[in-house]
Structure 1
Amino acid sequence: MRSLISSLLILCCLTSAAQQFKKGDRVCFVGNSITHNGDYWHNVQLYYATRFPQLDVRFFNCGISGDVTSGILRRMDSDILIHRPTWAVIMIGMNDVNRPLYDAKRKNEPGIREKQQAELSRYKKNLDSVIRIFRDKGIRIILQTPSIYDQTAKISTNNLFGVNDALKVCADFIRMEAKKYKLTVVDYWTMLTTLNAGIQKTDSTATLIGKDRVHPGGTGHLLMAWEFLRSTKAPAAVSTIVIGKDAAATKSKSRQCEITDMQRSDQRITFTCKEKALPFPLREDQLKVPQLVPFDDNINRQMLIFNYLKPGKYTLSIDGVEIGKYFSGELERGINLSTMRSLPQYQQALKVRALLQQSWALEGKLRMLRLIEHRYINKLPGHERLETVRKFYDSAHSHKPETDYVKKLFIQYLENKPEEAEIRRQWERSLDSLPALNKPVAHQFALRKN
């Protein structure tokens, strides 16, 4: 029975297919503010950096806040294809539906339904054009349905009821396009709608989306990353360490790790283990996700299993530091090390995340430059000259309150544009130390019977 349980656990870890992205791939995430913010695909990048330490996949932020499908077409060459992508991951639609058209004040406006439909028709035509451009250039594509507009939460923000229904039309069209072109589709709309309804059964004010009803927070973005990784058949297992009767049995049952120097008696088991991956580290604002979905089972399985233990209680140590006390039954069923934030493997993963965060911050400065250039000054004559942009800011935005969003963007632009070359240089070198930082190291395990 013990062996059967262990075998089933191993099987669960091994049923996932290989990762979507391969060595040398260049992946452009294309979209609007939810992509510009980047948190959901930052989690995907963190997964790849910890799960496949030597893979060398490059990720590029090609999101522009407020963008629509026509905007993607306009900036295709200068902002997306310039990165020479091998993959384009597309999520667009939240702005294409033109949310103000669903304001209750406009409900009886003549022609309002026709205006709503016209926006959806334009969206479908443009999105198909975007897909065909990538296909014609041999760039592989992953389609993503839009995330949701929360029109069911009982919160004070003005509710543009009907927006999420329009986004469902977008999602349905995306699924049709995926079928038409034989593409992978990641369905955020269905997943978030279902989970959001679930939490609102007990709390009508709860939301997986922000207070603006549009932009997800840390929980929502990690749920999106979870859905992306599931949909692209990302492997669930960090590693599977199975300590059998002897070294031969241990080697045959363990996966994603190398176990050496094993010594076993009824009172004590010691061994050295070098895993091939690191666990995925959660932030404080993401800790609710494993309560909502089987995140650890699907994405973050780092199992340690001991077979043929004498009944009783045991103390587990890694690198001489006590990790915890467990009954023999717990250890035979297996414990998931990825949930233990004090472990050295987890601490190493935190350092990987910290390095990525520095890189994302630099890329964020570059994206703010592109945001101003593509949305606010693209039609301004002479916008290539900083002095022209400064004069435009002085006349159009400098008088606005300090809290004004666009004013803040222009201030950042005027500060960072002269430093763009240096920011880019720092960003391009920001992950040079990653191959050394995310390389797993060997750890000493000891299990002692109390």
Structure 2
Amino acid sequence: MRFSMVITKLVYTITLGLFLITASLLQAQEAQQQAHKAPLSKLELESGDSIVFLGDSITHQCLYTQYVEDFFYTRYPKMRLKFHNAGVGGAKAWDALVRFDRDVAAYKPKYVTILLGMNDGQYQPFNEEIFQTYYSDMKELITKIEAINAKPILMTPTMFDARAARMGKRKRDPSAVELYNSVLAYYGTWLREVAAESGFGFVDMYGPLNNITIAARQKDPDFTIIRDAVHPDAPGQVVMAFALLSDMNVKRQVSRITISEKANGEPVATARGGKLTDLAYDDDGVSFTWLADSLPWVVPEEAQLGAELTKLGHRMSQEALSIHGLPAGRYELTIDGEVAGQYSNTTLAQHIELQGNSKTPQYQQAMKVALLNKERNNGPVKNKRNSWRTFQQFARLKRELDAQEGEKNTQKLEGLKKQLTTQEKTIQESEAAALALEDKIYEVNQPVARKYVLKKVAAGKKQK
């Protein structure tokens, strides 16, 4: 009897223990599932928000960052954002850590994009020890970004163009040339996993650059948008800007206007992206006044190839106009008295797109914005970034000397330290000059009411 009771208690104890363990495991699993975060898929911005572009020389070029800024200046002219380029030529993730407080945190960003890895892989076939250094430094960098309540947007390293490297004059290790693009793919795949698991933003820079290059080489085997194999040229930087904005799901359309005629002859219009007034419609054409909410996204002439390769206007900046019910014939469209083009009634019924038409006043206005921002980036923004090169040299040399034992030659370090005494002054002067140009941008980028007039210039063929 006593033995039976002992067995019963033992079974009960074991059963209860198993139940508690199972419940604990289920709770832990449920907690883990609840901790999973959806990756950041959209930028939530309002006036006063700050975006920091953290990176190496590809960011220091002040090109893809410039084109992203152009987008926001023209798409959201009433929303004043703050942009800070934090790229330094030759930088690795460790370098970004050293300058983080002054070059990132000081700008109180809401979002920090990170484009690092090109230098971290050290231009050689995959090396596990090198990757682990990148892994650790990037993890620490992400932690720092989260600690200042900013949201990281991890971006893959860009393309290493092996064919361009082989065509170039610089001597490189053949095995590195063959394999380095795949090394960058590995780094980027890891970043995607980190972003997906942690709820960060993620931008694929690598894929679009490679895909566009491969497609273009079907017609021109020597095609490249990265002539030195590492730094994308202006068209390639447009591809990068497009990738960033596309992956962050920004507002893609500028406007869509549809005009038709009711059965009683009364004109009717539906419009998105602005306000349409003064609509008049007759057999000779249509006229109306249009006040858009935004301007088309355009890029300077040297970057136009990138706009063509990405179909930037159609996919990210569409200004669509369709007019139904017009009598057969050709019609001339003028905007504020300037001829934009001639179109058939059938083409107008399908729709025309104006965003890439350099004859329109709104395109010309947007180009003024782009050129002002080009001046801003080529001048004060780049001057400020150049000042950080000296700091990077100083930090690297100091780390090297700190690791040495015995007597140290600090002469070069002291020389760099003296140069840094004027860095803060350079930063402040550059930022003041950049802000003055940005003030001009916000004067130029405000949409104005435009008068659209569509007049018949040629009759259509009579139907048999």
- TM class by shorter-chain length? 0.7 to 0.9
> Structure 1 stretches of 5 or more lacking a match?
1-16, 103-112, 382-387, 394-409
| Counterpart position of 1:239 | 255
Distance change in 2, residues 1:41/1:419 (3 Å): closer
Match of 1:136 among 143, 147, 163: 147
- The superposition leaves residues 166-203 of structure 1 with CA deviations (integer Å, 9 ceiling, x where unpaired) of 10111011011111211221111122122212222333
Q: Once the 2 structures are TM-superposed, how far is the Cα of residue 378 of structure 1 from its aligned partner?
A: 6.2
Work out the CA distance in 2 between the residues paired with 1:419 and 1:137: 25
Partners of 1:128 and 1:177 within 8 A in 2: no
| Counterpart position of 1:61 | 85
Work out the CA distance in 2 between the residues paired with 1:428 and 1:299: 27
Output the TM-score relative to the length of structure 2: 0.79
Work out the CA distance in 2 between the residues paired with 1:73 and 1:62: 12
Tell me the matched-pair count. 395
- The superposition leaves residues 354-383 of structure 1 with CA deviations (integer Å, 9 ceiling, x where unpaired) of 2222322211111111111222476479xx
After TM superposition, which residue ranges in structure 1, 4 or more long, deviate above 6 angstroms?
246-249, 388-391, 413-418
What is the SS of the residue equivalent to 2:366? helix
Match of 1:221 among 223, 234, 237: 237
Distance change in 2, residues 1:428/1:334 (3 Å): same
Output the TM-score relative to the length of structure 1: 0.81
- The superposition leaves residues 272-307 of structure 1 with CA deviations (integer Å, 9 ceiling, x where unpaired) of 111111111232222223443332221120111112
What is the SS of the residue equivalent to 1:94? coil
Amino acid at match of 1:96: D
Q: Once the 2 structures are TM-superposed, how far is the Cα of residue 65 of structure 1 from its aligned partner?
A: 0.6
Check if 1:362 corresponds to 2:380: yes
Q: Percent identity?
A: 25
Partners of 1:271 and 1:445 within 8 A in 2: yes
Distance change in 2, residues 1:250/1:96 (3 Å): farther
Partners of 2:55 and 2:115 within 8 A in 1: yes
| Counterpart position of 2:52 | 28
Match of 2:66 among 42, 61, 64: 42
What is the SS of the residue equivalent to 2:261? coil
Distance change in 2, residues 1:138/1:335 (3 Å): same
What is the SS of the residue equivalent to 1:204? coil
Amino acid at match of 2:390: I
Amino acid at match of 1:218: A
Check if 1:79 corresponds to 2:103: yes
Partners of 2:235 and 2:307 within 8 A in 1: no
What is the SS of the residue equivalent to 2:129? helix
Q: Once the 2 structures are TM-superposed, how far is the Cα of residue 46 of structure 1 from its aligned partner?
A: 0.2
Amino acid at match of 1:94: M
Distance change in 2, residues 1:365/1:266 (3 Å): same
Distance change in 2, residues 1:436/1:219 (3 Å): same
Distance change in 2, residues 1:91/1:117 (3 Å): same
| Counterpart position of 2:226 | 209
Work out the CA distance in 1 between the residues paired with 2:356 and 2:439: 29
Distance change in 2, residues 1:18/1:440 (3 Å): farther
Check if 1:331 corresponds to 2:348: yes
Distance change in 2, residues 1:61/1:121 (3 Å): same
Larger CA Rg, structure 1 vs 2:
2
Amino acid at match of 1:446: V
| Counterpart position of 2:185 | 168
Q: Once the 2 structures are TM-superposed, how far is the Cα of residue 248 of structure 1 from its aligned partner?
A: 8.9
Work out the CA distance in 2 between the residues paired with 1:420 and 1:19: 28
- The superposition leaves residues 16-73 of structure 1 with CA deviations (integer Å, 9 ceiling, x where unpaired) of x976533321000001001111211211110000011011111101111100011111
Match of 1:126 among 100, 120, 137: 137
Distance change in 2, residues 1:221/1:127 (3 Å): same
Work out the CA distance in 2 between the residues paired with 1:291 and 1:437: 25
Q: Once the 2 structures are TM-superposed, how far is the Cα of residue 148 of structure 1 from its aligned partner?
A: 0.7
Amino acid at match of 2:335: I
What is the SS of the residue equivalent to 1:89? strand
Amino acid at match of 2:236: G
Task: Say what the alpha-carbon RMSD is for the aligned residues.
Answer: 2.6
Amino acid at match of 2:448: V
